[in-house]
């Protein structure tokens, strides 16, 4: 029997607000432990939470981008459990009536685009952080993170492989970053994922028993954790055993998941409506206002780049990945000024991305202007400079800025396309290499490359190679 995986993801995205969700404490990362705390986020008795409107706005913004229904009335609920990092003994979250429901996100799969259904997205507060002393007997708690706003985005179990799961996470992170609702920082835990995974016989419509894998903080780990878990579950079923519903932890060092605790059910949390907060009413006018501020979303931009500039899907994807819209913006700026958008893309991929990856340039602080970029490509296109010179000048523009024509002229880099000047050198080369000329005429045609190289060398790289090639062929008799 063949088994297929079924995966649903729960993502916790930290919303980019200045202050926490129910108090005025700062959300700044990296402060002294317990520096950003007050009686509200420390859960002192008698205090009252006050909802941060900006957090609601960011949740609505995300919900709209995910094509969700925005609830006119949504309710906060207490999720009760005990853990040292949870000062109140409950987390304020949403249960029955979340802010956003029933949306979708399109991802790329091996068999084309796929719509992954979004079940819900709800607002909640983050917990603090337990810090365990290495080798020590004690643990410390830092409440700076307690009360930081999170949006939990829950997918339907629509993902069918570990690759689809990581594609979904990338697409979601790109979306959130382009909306500027979350900074997407995986290392700081600002974009975290729990993965629910089960397997079932191919063709079945009955979902298998799932495990929930926690603590996955990189795209690579998601794939590794899920691949491990798929194998483990299939192994159990093939041996006639059962998968037990439980929460498991991924250990990247071992590349394995291990059981953490049996899965808690909703009733274990004794959810009930938060009595200190009124139901949240979101007016249509507010939703419309938020909708009007939505930027072009990554998927829409991707499709437009393909159509408008004739790029391949995978090429356009490189320009919208990482959700740094400045890369796509810069591409479009150059493409508008240059003749051939495909060539612009080619230079982005080959030269600009390399420089950005190697830290030689930063997209937010480029010295290279779109004008200079386009002018350089034009010079190359017209044969005024050679490809190698163009690369050197590109490097200089990235490092220092300036005008490519001025750089080329000041350094005497202009390509010699004057037929007379090139012909003179061609004649000299033919005279200097009589043996090679004889062999060429005897049929060793690949010597043309050698002879062209000699012309280029004599002209210090500035000769027009196409012209040199053409003249050589003519003189050698084809």
Decide: is 10 part of the binding site for ligand ADP (CB under 6 A). yes
Q: Name which position in 48, 206, 253, 266 contacts ligand ADP (CB under 6 A).
A: 266
For ligand ADP, the closer of residues 192 and 210 by Cβ is 210
Give the shortest CB-118-to-ligand ADP separation in angstroms. Answer: 9
Q: Which residues lie closer than 8 Å to 13 by C-beta, 6 or more apart? A: 62, 150, 151, 152, 153, 176, 181, 182, 190, 191
Binders of ligand ADP among 203-262, rule CB under 6 A? Answer: 207-208, 210
**204, two tokens:** 């079945």
**Could you tell which of Zn ion, ligand ADP, none binds residue 407, using a CB distance below 5 to 8 A set by kind?**
none
For ligand ADP, the closer of residues 52 and 155 by Cβ is 155
Run of H or E including 14? strand 3-14
Give the shortest CB-44-to-Zn ion separation in angstroms. Answer: 10
Query: How many whole angstroms separate alpha carbon 337 and alpha carbon 373?
Result: 9
Q: Name which position in 162, 196, 224, 386 contacts ligand ADP (CB under 6 A).
A: 196
Residue spans of beta strands (DSSP E) within 48-111: 69-70, 73-74, 76-80, 90-94, 100-109
CA nearest neighbour of 190 among 416, 27, 24: 27
| Largest pairwise CA distance in the chain | 100
For ligand ADP, the closer of residues 49 and 157 by Cβ is 157
Give the shortest CB-278-to-ligand ADP separation in angstroms. Answer: 25
Q: Which residue bears the tokens 């501020």?
A: 293
Q: Which residue bears the tokens 């084809």?
A: 478
Give the shortest CB-281-to-ligand ADP separation in angstroms. Answer: 25
Give the shortest CB-146-to-Zn ion separation in angstroms. Answer: 8
For Zn ion, the closer of residues 85 and 324 by Cβ is 85
Decide: is 25 part of the binding site for Zn ion (CB under 5 A). yes
Strand, helix or coil for residue 37: coil
Give the shortest CB-369-to-ligand ADP separation in angstroms. Answer: 46
**463, two tokens:** 């000769």
| Residue 318: other Cβ atoms inside 10 A | 19
**233, two tokens:** 């579950």
| Residue 75: other Cβ atoms inside 10 A | 18
Q: Among the residues of 66-218, which ranges form H helices? A: 162-179
Residue spans of beta strands (DSSP E) within 202-347: 211-216, 246-251, 256-262, 272-273, 280-281
**Could you tell which of Zn ion, ligand ADP, none binds residue 156, using a CB distance below 5 to 8 A set by kind?**
ligand ADP
Give the shortest CB-176-to-ligand ADP separation in angstroms. Answer: 17
Site string for ligand ADP, 133-162 (x = CB under 6 A): ---------------------xxxx-----
Q: Among the residues of 119-274, which ranges form H helices? A: 162-179, 219-238
Bridge partners, 74 (sequence order): 280
**8, two tokens:** 């649903």
**Could you tell which of Zn ion, ligand ADP, none binds residue 6, using a CB distance below 5 to 8 A set by kind?**
ligand ADP
Q: Which residues lie closer than 8 Å to 362 by C-beta, 6 or more apart? A: 356
**Could you tell which of ligand ADP, Zn ion, none binds residue 197, using a CB distance below 5 to 8 A set by kind?**
ligand ADP
159 neighbors 168 (Cβ within 8 angstroms): yes
148 neighbors 40 (Cβ within 8 angstroms): no
Give the shortest CB-60-to-Zn ion separation in angstroms. Answer: 23
Task: Say how many residues touch Zn ion, by CB under 5 A.
Answer: 5
Asked whether the CA dihedral 82, 88, 91, 94 is positive or negative, the reply is positive
Q: Name which position in 9, 23, 290, 376 contacts ligand ADP (CB under 6 A).
A: 9
Q: Name which position in 178, 198, 224, 247 contacts ligand ADP (CB under 6 A).
A: 198
> Which one of 25-33, 165-173, 202-210, 287-295 is the stretch in contact with ligand ADP (CB under 6 A)?
202-210
Residue with smallest beta-carbon separation from ligand ADP: 8
Decide: is 334 part of the binding site for Zn ion (CB under 5 A). no
Decide: is 38 part of the binding site for Zn ion (CB under 5 A). yes
Task: Say how many residues touch ligand ADP, by CB under 6 A.
Answer: 16
Decide: is 341 part of the binding site for ligand ADP (CB under 6 A). no
| Residue 152: other Cβ atoms inside 10 A | 18
Residues counted in the chain: 478
**Could you tell which of Zn ion, ligand ADP, none binds residue 224, using a CB distance below 5 to 8 A set by kind?**
none
Binding footprint of ligand ADP on the chain (CB under 6 A):
6-10, 154-157, 196-198, 207-208, 210, 266
Binding footprint of Zn ion on the chain (CB under 5 A):
23, 25, 38, 40-41
């Amino acid at each position: 029997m063949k088994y297929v995986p079924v995966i649903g993801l729960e993502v916790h995205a930290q919303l980019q607000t200045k202050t926490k969700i129910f108090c005025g404490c700062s959300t700044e990362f990296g402060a002294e432990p317990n520096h950003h705390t007050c009686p509200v986020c420390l859960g002192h008795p008698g205090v009252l939470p006050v909802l941060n409107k900006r957090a609601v706005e960011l949740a609505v913004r995300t919900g709209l981008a995910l094509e969700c229904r925005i609830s006119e009335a949504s309710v906060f609920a207490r999720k009760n459990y005990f853990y040292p990092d949870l000062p109140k003994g409950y987390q304020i979250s949403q249960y029955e009536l979340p802010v956003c429901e029933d949306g979708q996100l399109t991802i790329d799969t091996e068999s084309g685009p796929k719509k992954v259904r979004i079940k819900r997205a709800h607002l909640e507060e983050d917990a603090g952080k337990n810090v365990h002393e290495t080798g020590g007997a004690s643990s410390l708690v830092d409440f700076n993170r307690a009360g930081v706003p999170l949006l939990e985005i829950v997918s339907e179990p629509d993902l069918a492989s570990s690759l689809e799961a990581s594609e979904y996470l990338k697409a979601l992170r790109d979306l959130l970053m382009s909306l500027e609702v979350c900074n997407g920082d995986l290392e700081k835990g600002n974009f975290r994922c729990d993965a629910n995974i089960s397997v079932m016989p191919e063709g079945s419509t009955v979902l298998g028993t799932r495990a929930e894998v926690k603590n996955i903080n990189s795209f690579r780990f998601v794939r590794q954790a899920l691949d491990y878990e798929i194998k483990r579950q299939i192994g159990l079923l093939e041996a006639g055993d059962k998968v037990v519903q439980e929460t498991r932890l991924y250990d990247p060092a071992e590349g394995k998941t291990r059981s953490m605790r049996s899965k808690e059910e909703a009733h274990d949390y004794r959810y009930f409506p938060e009595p200190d907060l009124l139901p949240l009413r979101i007016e249509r006018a507010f939703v419309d206002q938020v909708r009007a501020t939505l930027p072009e979303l990554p998927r829409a931009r991707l499709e437009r780049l393909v159509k408008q500039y004739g790029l391949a899907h995978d090429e356009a994807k490189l320009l919208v990945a990482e959700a740094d819209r400045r890369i796509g913006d810069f591409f479009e700026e150059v493409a508008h000024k240059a003749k051939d958008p495909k060539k612009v893309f080619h230079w982005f991929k080959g030269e600009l991305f390399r420089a950005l990856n190697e830290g030689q340039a930063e997209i937010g602080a480029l010295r290279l202007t779109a004008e200079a970029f386009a002018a350089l490509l034009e010079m190359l296109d017209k044969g005024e400079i050679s490809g190698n010179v163009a690369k050197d000048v590109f490097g200089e523009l990235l490092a220092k800025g300036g005008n490519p024509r001025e750089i080329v002229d000041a350094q005497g880099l202009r390509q010699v396309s004057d037929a007379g000047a090139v012909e003179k050198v061609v004649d000299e080369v033919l005279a200097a290499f009589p043996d090679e000329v004889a062999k060429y005429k005897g049929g060793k045609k690949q010597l043309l490359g050698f002879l062209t190289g000699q012309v280029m060398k004599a002209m210090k790289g500035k000769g027009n190679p196409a012209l040199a090639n053409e003249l050589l062929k003519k003189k050698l008799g084809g």
